[in-house]
């Protein structure tokens, strides 16, 4: 009976190890895929996005994988440039949003009941309104453009992560080593920086990666509505917005390929975030 139990235990251990191994491999492949988009942006021939009316409205082919638009611009090159631009905007916006969430989450759990009430009220206020609506209002107020969309993303995507960080800080605050530091007379800032912050790094990292796809999608949506990046930029939102008037003419590739690539990139970021959370979190590492 003991032998059978040991065999079953070894099988479960091997299964769990293989699952972690597969998750790690998928994560590495996803990271390589995203890096190839960023690096490939600098290897593309920008001359292919210049106006060339001799090849305008060409369907997808070997020479032009995503076809060409009404000005003869190569859609594959435009799409790759747009994806890298959207990823850059999402990166800056997600960093700003994660920083706000970290500061407010720690402040709510360490600076007393009044600060906790105010920050919790702010979190509930922002969560009660859809991100996209608030983002459009902020971007419109700031005049749109790169600055408006980045600030809008940073100011609208922090509440959920701030709530998670606040709960995590309150749990760590009751730990034995934190209580020992308090009894030794350590300041509140020393405890926050030396004891609490290091334990929050995995949560912040995973939260940042999960913010990324939302930031990219919302940037594309606001740009599509004309309140985001400049029309002169090769952003995915601009490409999709311009292609709408040509869909009725049968030029389906103008919107299909850029939209599909955007969804693939967003899904890839989401997969990386979920896999990283599973690998880091000991409670779900072997689920």
- Name the helix (H) or strand (E) containing 75: helix 75-110
Token pair belonging to 27: 């994560």
Sign of CA dihedral 117, 151, 215, 203: negative
CA distances from 75 to 8, 242, 261 (A): 54, 12, 12
Q: What is the pLDDT along the chain (287 residues), one digit of tens a residue?
A: 444 444 444 555 555 556 778 888 888 888 898 888 888 878 887 778 888 888 888 888 888 888 888 888 888 988 988 888 888 888 888 899 999 988 888 887 777 788 888 888 988 888 888 878 888 888 888 887 888 888 988 888 888 888 888 888 888 877 777 777 777 777 677 777 777 788 888 888 888 888 888 888 888 888 888 887 877 777 888 888 888 888 888 888 888 999 899 999 988 888 888 888 777 765 554 44
- pTM reported for the whole predicted model: 0.79
What's the pLDDT at 253?
87
3-class state of residue 67 by DSSP: coil
CATH architecture of 98-287: Orthogonal Bundle (1.10)
Burial 67-103 (b: 16+ CB within 10 A, else e): bbbbebbbbbbbbbbbbbbbbbbbbbbbbbbbebbbe
Burial 37-64 (b: 16+ CB within 10 A, else e): beeebeebeeebbeeeeebebbebeeeb
């Amino acid at each position: 009976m003991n032998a059978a139990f040991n065999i079953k235990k070894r099988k479960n251990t091997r299964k769990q190890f293989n699952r972690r191994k597969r998750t790690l491999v998928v994560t590495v492949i996803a990271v390589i895929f995203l890096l190839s988009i960023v690096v490939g942006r600098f290897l593309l021939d920008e001359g292919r996005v210049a106006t060339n009316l001799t090849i305008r409205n060409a369907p997808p082919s070997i020479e032009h994988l995503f076809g060409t638009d009404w000005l003869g611009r190569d859609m594959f090159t435009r799409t790759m440039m747009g994806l890298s631009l959207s990823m850059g905007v999402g990166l800056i916006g997600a960093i700003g949003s994660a920083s706000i969430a970290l500061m407010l989450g720690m402040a709510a759990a360490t600076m007393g009941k009044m600060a906790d009430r105010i920050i919790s009220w702010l979190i509930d206020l922002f969560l009660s309104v859809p991100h996209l609506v608030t983002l459009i209002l902020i971007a419109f107020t700031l005049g749109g453009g790169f600055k408006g969309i980045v600030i809008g993303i940073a100011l609208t995507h922090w509440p959920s992560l701030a709530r998670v960080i606040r709960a995590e800080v309150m749990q760590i605050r009751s730990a034995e080593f934190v209580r020992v530091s308090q009894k030794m007379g350590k300041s509140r800032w020393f405890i926050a920086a030396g004891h609490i912050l290091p334990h929050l790094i995995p949560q912040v990292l995973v939260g940042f990666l999960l913010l990324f796809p939302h930031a990219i999608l919302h940037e594309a949506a606001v740009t599509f509505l004309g309140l985001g990046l400049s029309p002169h930029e090769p952003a995915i939102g601009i490409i999709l917005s311009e292609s709408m008037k040509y869909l009725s003419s049968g030029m389906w590739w103008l919107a299909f390929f850029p939209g599909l690539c955007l969804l693939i990139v967003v899904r890839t970021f989401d997969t990386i975030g979920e896999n990283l959370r599973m690998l880091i979190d000991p409670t779900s590492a072997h689920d």
